[in-house]
Structure 1
Amino acid sequence: MVLLLVSNGLSKANGQTYCFADEGDSTKCTTAGVNGACDTYCKTVNAIWIGRCEGSPVHCHCYKPC
């Protein structure tokens, strides 16, 4: 199993680190850093996940607490 530790500005409330969980819905992102629709999508899959628009081309990634 590959563990991806994310340290690119993702929320770390109470020292929480987030790890890649799944690819999100590619239609939810148009601009890197504009995460609202992606975050909502990821939370519909799992309520504790967060979503971030990133990459090139920009796409949605879901992250879970490690």
Structure 2
Amino acid sequence: MADATTSRPSETGTAELISTLKSDRLWLLRQIDAGRWPQWRLDLAALERELGQLLDQLSDADSSADA
């Protein structure tokens, strides 16, 4: 039987993933604002918004867990 530390991702790994996703979101937003991929602009903007919402939810959940 696995203990709790091996059955869920480490907090450090999760924090690194969130940081990477935030950086990727910022990069995507800058690319959209610069006019790249005009044929995909609406889809990419929707993806960027969804990623932002996901990151906000993760941040809220993390804040609740710390309290």
Report the TM-score range of the alignment, normalised by the length of the smaller protein: under 0.3
* TM-score, length of structure 2 as denominator length: 0.19
* TM-score, length of structure 1 as denominator length: 0.19
Report which of the two has the higher share of helix. Answer: 2
